[in-house]
Structure 1
Amino acid sequence: MMDPIVLAAGTALVSAMATDAWQQARAATVGLWRRTRPERADRIGAELDVPRGQVLAAREADDEDTEQTLTGAWRLHPHDLLRETPGLAAELQRLLDEHLTPALPESGQARTRSVVMKAEAHDNSRVYMAGGDQHITGA
């Protein structure tokens, strides 16, 4: 299971590609790699240039599948970064909070927030969890 920060960062990064603030979000993202994995920073920067056109085209065509595929692919980079160095979670969260999420329109910012819930039920008890509205009928 991917870390919620990774999920949010990948979503915000791809969403930011379709904004006017993309160059600032891109620079901050490359800056994270430059500080933490300088040997990969130039490659990450070059790879970030390609999907922006794909995201813009997907949005123009209402092609959510392509955007979701790109989001999944771009979650792998921060996932690998945290797998190699778990202590970088705070750096990734800072990138998300200070650069990626603010680059998004308000409607897109909600997609980058994550909720982690865990529950256990014992002795035939019930557990109801929801990340939004929940309506329970029946007993």
Structure 2
Amino acid sequence: MEAQMVELARAAGTAMVTLMATDAWERTRDGVVALWRRASPARADGVEGELDATRDDLLTAVENGDDLTEQELREEWAGRLRRLLREQPEVAAELRRLLIELDPEPQGSSAGTVRMRAEASGSGRVYQAGRDQHITER
């Protein structure tokens, strides 16, 4: 399989799982299920149920700060998409179009979601910022 197809599957799996925890969830699910209906109609209903189950797992992981589960879910969907692309390489163009359509950050936009998590103990300090940060301590 071409490296481009593997990278496309990885990017799509990451985008899909990331969008599951946003307002774009329904559009994402509908787009992915439509893709599967055209590529592999017999599996489309199962994929829809698996997407819903993945979203439930993702929301629980986010709530619990379980980054490992989030990463596993991304990898799981990247693998499924990679196998679909291996079986039907002609689906790649449609998957690329879907990713562009679902892109939460249109080209040229610098606004986005920033998610940060930190822990400090003892006398430790944590400084986090979504953008510019100026710290002056004496």
Q: TM-score, normalised by structure 1?
A: 0.70
SS at match of 1:106: coil
Q: Identify which of structures 1 and 2 has the higher relative contact order when contacts are C-alpha pairs closer than 8 Å and 6+ apart.
A: 1
1:102 Cα deviation (Å)? 2.6
Aligned equivalent of 1:47, options 30, 40, 50: 50
1:40 Cα deviation (Å)? 1.0
Please tell me the residue identity of whatever aligns with 2:104. Answer: P
1:98 Cα deviation (Å)? 0.7
Distance 2:32 2:91 in 1: 13
Please tell me the residue identity of whatever aligns with 1:15. Answer: T
Aligned to 2:83: 80
Please tell me the residue identity of whatever aligns with 2:99. Answer: L
State yes or no: 1:98 paired with 2:101: yes
Runs of 4+ residues over 3 Å off in structure 1: none
Aligned to 1:123: none
Aligned to 2:72: 69
Distance 2:31 2:88 in 1: 19
State yes or no: 1:18 paired with 2:21: yes
5 Å matches for 1:23-42?
23-42=26-45
Q: TM-score, normalised by structure 2?
A: 0.70
Number of aligned residue pairs: 107
% identical aligned pairs: 47
Which 5+ residue runs of structure 2 have no aligned equivalent?
106-110, 115-138
